[in-house]
Amino acid sequence: MSDDTILLAARKALSGLTMPDGTPFLGASQVSGPTVSNGRINVSILTTADAAAALGDIRAKAEVALRNVPGAVTAFVTLTNDKTIAPVLKPAATAKPEILAGVSHVVAVASGKGGVGKSTTAVNLALGLRANGLKVGILDADIHGPSLPTLLALHGQPRMGQDRRLLPMQSNGILAMSMGLMVDAETAMVWRGPMVMSAITQMLSDVDWGTLDVLIVDMPPGTGDAQLAIAQGTTLAGAVIVSTPQDLALIDARRGIAMFKKVDVPILGLVENMAHFTCTDCGKQHALFGTGGAEAEAKRLGVPFLGAVPLTMDLRAASDSGQPIVARDPEGQLGRLYIDMARALWANLTASYPNTQTHKKL
Ligand code: ADP
């Protein structure tokens, strides 16, 4: 079905709705859209922080109406506010959304800046947790640079389940969902903090994750509003911070640690990535970015150090092939390293939450 046909049907579906003040939804000045791209419908409602709560109902109604539009692949109606996000946030201590009741722990993998190997770490830790017998899902929340579709060779569109919730995809024995499968890159590029948060909380609640021991969330890089919003809005059990040994990256990592501590999310571990380079010709290890910095820093900050991952071509090649190193070569040196780090992560998690029960892995 063409986007134009879907757009017409989407407008029709919204035509009966009204804003809380009685004006027609489609005619309201703060409503942008609907837009349709590859069957994905997006609408945004501009609001102030104070008015956001009052718009929750109409947002949900509009979304339900759009989901029933024939041919619609996904439908998102987001509240957006460029200036402040605070009142849109749920307080840090809110209970897990009912919908995530089957997920024992949501764990964020974060980094202070992009390009340090956060996604590579997230996906290999997820596979490492699975190798330790756990049932695992991974959500790629890196809206501006989603890499999970490549890392796990996810193709096509997620399917809709019976209750019109999306079914996560399966790859290498874990469940996976990526913003990259839902929203096209151009739409996501212009999203700011509140829209990012609103989209991610919807990804958590609109996807049928079923029962999981751990849901890994590959966070957007950095420590801005969007990250803080996710940390507060998703009831995280803990966070893993990824850093390269460079001083600059460590400063960023410290910022990340401080952010999670501020919202009372325990740091379950620090992973040092691209720690050293093993020369394929001479076999010697070269510490390109200095050595031991992350471990010393972890000790100084009182956070667990999970391990140091070398810079290697193997890791990169495996990631590019859609079969991450833990899936491709679990017995190899790197595979074992990630599986060991995942075991340490799980130990830290169950130490923080001693009543944890485990599920049967996929
Ligand atoms: P981020 O999520 O922090 O942006 P990615 O995980 O996408 O980072 O990694 C960025 C690039 O670096 C990717 O091409 C990835 O394959 C590569 N990479 C990550 N970690 C390593 C490593 N230890 N050795 C070699 N290449 C790596």
Q: What are the tens digits of pLDDT across the range 100-154?
A: 778 999 999 999 888 889 999 999 999 999 999 999 999 998 877 778 989 999 9
145/172 same-domain check: yes
67/102 same-domain check: no
> Considering only 59-63, 207-211, 224-228, 341-345, which range has the smallest mean pLDDT?
224-228
- What percent of the chain shows pLDDT beyond 90? 34
143/267 same-domain check: yes
pLDDT of residue 252: 82
Distance from the first to the final alpha carbon of the chain: 35
Q: Over the stretch 57-96, which tens digit does the pLDDT of each residue have?
A: 999 999 999 999 999 888 888 887 643 332 222 333 334 4
For residue 56, the 8-state DSSP code is H
212/271 same-domain check: yes
User: What average pLDDT does the segment 251-258 reach?
Assistant: 86
164/48 same-domain check: no
User: What average pLDDT does the segment 343-357 reach?
Assistant: 88
60/168 same-domain check: no
Question: Is the distance from the beta carbon of residue 187 to the nearest atom of ligand 1 less than 6 Å?
Answer: no
| Domain with 259 in it | 98-352
pLDDT of residue 89: 28
Measured from the CA of 275, which atom of ligand 1 is nearest?
23
Question: Is the distance from the beta carbon of residue 150 to the nearest atom of ligand 1 less than 6 Å?
Answer: no
How many Å lie between the centroid of ligand 1 and the Cα of residue 115? Answer: 6
| CATH number of the domain where residue 255 is located | 3.40.50.300
Domain count, the chain: 2
pLDDT of residue 184: 65
Pocket perturbation via mutation, ligand 1, pick of 125, 147, 276, 319 by most ligand atoms within 8 A of CB: 319
Contact 21, 51 (CB under 8 A): no
Q: Is residue 89 part of a domain?
A: no
106/22 same-domain check: no
Report the nearest-CA residue for atom 16 of ligand 1.
316
Q: Compute the mean pLDDT over every residue in the chain, rounded to the nearest whole number.
A: 82
Contact 39, 28 (CB under 8 A): no
CA angle 62, 65, 68 (to 5 degrees): 150
> Considering only 26-30, 80-84, 243-247, 267-271, which range has the smallest mean pLDDT?
80-84
Contacts of 177 (CB under 8 A, 6+ apart): 137, 138, 139, 140, 148, 158, 166, 168, 169, 203, 207
pLDDT at 334 over 90: yes
Environment class of residue 152 by beta-carbon count within 10 Å: exposed (0-12), middle (13-18) or buried (19+)? buried
How many Å lie between the centroid of ligand 1 and the Cα of residue 220? Answer: 14
